[in-house]
Amino acid sequence: MTDLCDLKAVQLVESYAARTVSPVEATRAALARAEQIQPLVHAFTRLDAETALREAAESATRWARGEPLGLLDGVPVSIKDILLLRGGPTLRGSLTLSERGPWTEDAPAVARLREHGAVFLGKTTTPEFGWKGVTDSPREGVTGNPYDPARTSGGSSGGSAAAVAWGAGPLSLGTDGGGSVRIPAAFCGTFALKPTYGRVPLYPASPFGTLSHVGPITRDAADAALLMDVISGADWRDWSQLAAAGDGFRAGLDEPLTGLRVAYSPTLGGVSVDPEVAVAVRRAVELLAELGAVVEEAEPGFADPVEAFHVLWFSGAARVVQPLDEERRALLDPGLREVCERGAAYSALDYLAAVDARMALGHAMGRFHTRYDLLVTPTLPITAFAAGVEVPPGSGLERWTGWTPFTYPFNLTQQPAASVPCGLSSRGLPIGVQLVAARHADALVLRAAHALYGAGVADAVRPPAPGAGA
């Protein structure tokens, strides 16, 4: 019998309709898996079994009547502890926030999930205020990797990626301000999409401004397309949201890639990439060619925009902690304190110069996409390193942006970008390939990713059973 934790969201919905699986059975299985993996990787800040099982029972009643509430009725989901989830605290990995409520509001994407009947398992871990590319925080400690719990899950949506990879619900909502769904997806062997900015409404607005996107972490691209059809629904609270996405994201998912113009950039102009990562990504690119894409090795030709990103990101971090007195600042992650001090020292002219650099990068990528439909790069130049540190030990790097040069540029440009698992290293650690398209071309990214899944790009990427060899 198939383990219910192995079923994807699309399969669960089909099984509910066929009456071969009930939402209660699926939710019990997901909760049991979450409890099993929690001591190993600490993916969750809070599990709410009582509420989840009540929601699952209500869903089962609707399915029995043949009246599902929406596209995800009865599907277990988890929510990164950056996004509001009604009924419990959102503490963002920080000791500076109080659990006192009332917690009466859902974030827009969470509200859409609730409208479609999803079952909420609980909240997943994040570094403090989502500030870095690994997941550890003063409040929650360290989140490990399902492929090796002594290694990092990545971040800042590390709990979500670890939970999905190990079957504690097939869907999770994360946020991505510099790679924060794509980084953990690459390290944990899951799929993730950073949609075009504004495609998924966000409230409250991120202190990191228009760098931060809400996006799905899922088992594959088909599940992500289903989830996007739910969470991209309109919400008046986000003044910067985009209009509805035409026919949605599942329509056209199976269309062929024949003639798709693909630019393959193995180093994005000079990034040092682990040889095993390079080989796996090249194989994925060769698959795209076999699927009918016209592939050319080409560089976008921009210089590393890390300094502009730092100005915008560190300024946002400084704004997050601005209301805190010295006593509460002492509770912050030491690394966060450092970047906040740096961010507070920037001038308005520094900030505007970074905005200018951002606009120039967006212009350059807009021109690039008149020649190419898709840009393909590694998601990360390395595989997962030791948990509990911001940068790989012995690397000499100062900040997490030193090892994420493929992800943060596309937060500056607001383009859709996805990470697809494309193999394992000799140590059995996942490797991700990144697909980037022009703004608003989210459906194209999903279509290309779906084709890669269909061609078997991720067939070998599966974590060991929880506890096996850990």
Which residues are designated catalytic? 80, 156, 180
Q: Which residue has the tokens 């390395």?
A: 382
Comparing CA positions, the residue from 64, 36, 83 lying closest to residue 231 is 83
Residue 141: phi and psi, rounded to 5, are: 80, -150
Closest CA to 453 of 261, 184, 189, 75: 189
The two tokens of residue 261 are 């113009």
How many DSSP H helices and E strands does the chain contain? 14, 15
User: Are 174 and 157 spatial neighbours (Cβ–Cβ below 8 Å)?
Assistant: yes
Q: Are 279 and 426 in contact (CB under 8 A)?
A: no
Which CA distances in Å does 58 have to 28, 52, 177, 374, 448? 14, 10, 35, 43, 36
- With CA atoms as reference, report the closest residue to 347 among 322, 383, 311, 393: 311
Measured between alpha carbons, how far is 417 from 248 in angstroms, rounded to an integer? 17
Phi, psi of 317 (to 5 degrees): -60, -40
Residue with tokens 């599990």: 47
